[in-house]
Amino acid sequence: MAHLNQPTRYDIADSNIALLGSDLEKTVREHAGDKDSAWTEAGKKPGLEIWRIEKFNVVAWPAERVGSFYDGDSYIILHTYKKTPDSESLSFDLHFWLGENTSQDEAGTAAYKTVELDDHLEGAPVQYREVQGSESTRFLSYFPRFVCLRGGVSTGFHHVSSAPPPDVHRLYKISLSREANGRPHLQVREVPIEGSSLVEGAVFVLDKGPAVWQFNTKTSVGQEKFRAAEFAHSLLSEREAHKEEVPHVYDEGAPGASKFLAELGLEAMPSRSAASSKTSAPPTLYRMSDASGSAAFEPVDPPALASLSSEDAFLLDHSGSAAHPAIYIWIGKSASLTEQRLALQYAQNFAHKKQAEGGNFKVSVSLVKVKEGHESSSFIAAFVV
């Protein structure tokens, strides 16, 4: 039986985030009031600002840890920028990121406080819900090296460069994501040390403390191998006792590879593919209404920018995109206050309903709230089939 005070884990597969009028909202207000002091300087100049949720409060994430996240936590990320160098106004991307082992309270607090920060910035941000493992390319583009580690505020956490205790090993999956301009971004994700963690197409680094091993799967590419080697070297170089050591490199199918696989209880590489050959499906557009007290979605054809109306809110389902899957909620200037405040909650309800209908739909897909006049380039591009 779970301890009575143990936080409830947030399960994206079957949980929704309730905001306005919920017990969670009341608890957050009791802790921090209607306007958090953390927002005083938020969004005043271009750059990246990150906060972690700690016991219903938002706490600034240290600059030296930017790019590192923990799967037991929830975070708020604000990207402030100018659309053109000569622009006099600032634009914003506002994300809340949920680790797969975060608690229900942390996830809900992140969602609620993101709405609060959006209000503080007068509704100007494009707002995103991000779930670990399904992050948008926009989110990943902020970090030359995105690192996702196991642990969090409730369990303690470690620096990626710190050596694990003698009886603890750590396994990292290394992969690259690319922006539309082709620029690569390194993703480092800590995964369980077990055979099921290995997939073709990725590179893996096993941190044994005094020794670091790199394993290249057959279909991994040269740049992934090179960036993984950089990461493996960095682990050792930052440890005084082992900074002169070099990582051991194993290639799938080559002599010695069985030694690495044995560490994960395997005799051979699992026969699974890291990626599917998914093809893109065209987007679908819905007019959204909450006049009945709950969100209803009416199909709109054709799914075109010209179909949008300032008096309403619309949902654009672009989750079938192979490159940039997302569900967008577009808020017209005259849409209701409830539609504006609960846009992402309505989008999540839509995602859960779609999952219940079957198929390969992932409810963890990025959810994006866009206000009229502040459309993102990815939203506009989603209409081009």
| Residues 122 and 212 both lie in one domain | no
> What's the DSSP call for residue 163?
P
Any domain includes 158: no
Coil, strand or helix at 205: strand
CB 211, CB 245: distance < 8 Å: yes
Any domain includes 162: no
Residue 196 belongs to domain spanning: 170-264
The number of folded domains in the chain is 3
- State the Cα–Cα distance between residues 165 and 178, nearest whole angstrom: 34
CB 215, CB 200: distance < 8 Å: no
pLDDT of residue 154: 66
The residues, ordered by sequence, that sit 6+ positions from 99 with a Cβ below 8 Å of its Cβ are 69, 70, 71, 72, 73, 74, 132, 148, 152
| Residues 17 and 144 both lie in one domain | yes
| Residues 123 and 35 both lie in one domain | yes
In the chain, which stretches have pLDDT less than 70? 1-7, 12-26, 28-35, 154-167, 179-182, 240-244, 272-278, 385
Any domain includes 19: yes
| Residues 192 and 304 both lie in one domain | no
Last residue of a domain, one of 118, 149, 180: 149
Any domain includes 165: no
Match 């109306």 to its residue by tokens. 309
Q: Render the burial of 303-331: b for 16+ CB within 10 Å, e for the rest.
A: beeeebbeebbbbbbbbbbeeebbbbbbb
The closest alpha carbon to 148, from 70, 265, 64, belongs to 70
- State the Cα–Cα distance between residues 190 and 174, nearest whole angstrom: 9
- State the Cα–Cα distance between residues 97 and 52, nearest whole angstrom: 9
- State the Cα–Cα distance between residues 213 and 35, nearest whole angstrom: 48
CATH number for position 232: 3.40.20.10
- State the Cα–Cα distance between residues 216 and 201, nearest whole angstrom: 8
| Residues 221 and 110 both lie in one domain | no
The residues, ordered by sequence, that sit 6+ positions from 77 with a Cβ below 8 Å of its Cβ are 48, 49, 50, 94, 95, 96, 97, 139, 142
Any domain includes 344: yes
The closest alpha carbon to 150, from 209, 192, 213, belongs to 192
pLDDT in tens, 126-144: 999 999 999 998 999 999 8
- State the Cα–Cα distance between residues 99 and 75, nearest whole angstrom: 8
Match 């994700």 to its residue by tokens. 189
Residues constituting the chain: 385
Last residue of a domain, one of 229, 264, 299: 264
Any domain includes 273: no
> What's the DSSP call for residue 200?
B
| Residues 258 and 179 both lie in one domain | yes
- CA 229 to chain centroid, in Å, comes to 25
Coil, strand or helix at 255: coil
Any domain includes 179: yes
| Residues 49 and 79 both lie in one domain | yes
- State the Cα–Cα distance between residues 82 and 85, nearest whole angstrom: 6
| Residues 145 and 239 both lie in one domain | no
| Residues 39 and 122 both lie in one domain | yes
Answer left, alpha or beta for residue 293, where phi above 0 means left and psi between -120 and 50 means alpha: left
| Residues 311 and 211 both lie in one domain | no
Answer left, alpha or beta for residue 261, where phi above 0 means left and psi between -120 and 50 means alpha: alpha
- CA 364 to chain centroid, in Å, comes to 9
| Residues 254 and 310 both lie in one domain | no
CB 52, CB 59: distance < 8 Å: yes
- CA 183 to chain centroid, in Å, comes to 19
- CA 171 to chain centroid, in Å, comes to 20
Any domain includes 6: no
| Residues 308 and 184 both lie in one domain | no
- State the Cα–Cα distance between residues 43 and 90, nearest whole angstrom: 8
Q: How many CB atoms lie within 10 A of CB 209?
A: 19
Match 């409810």 to its residue by tokens. 363
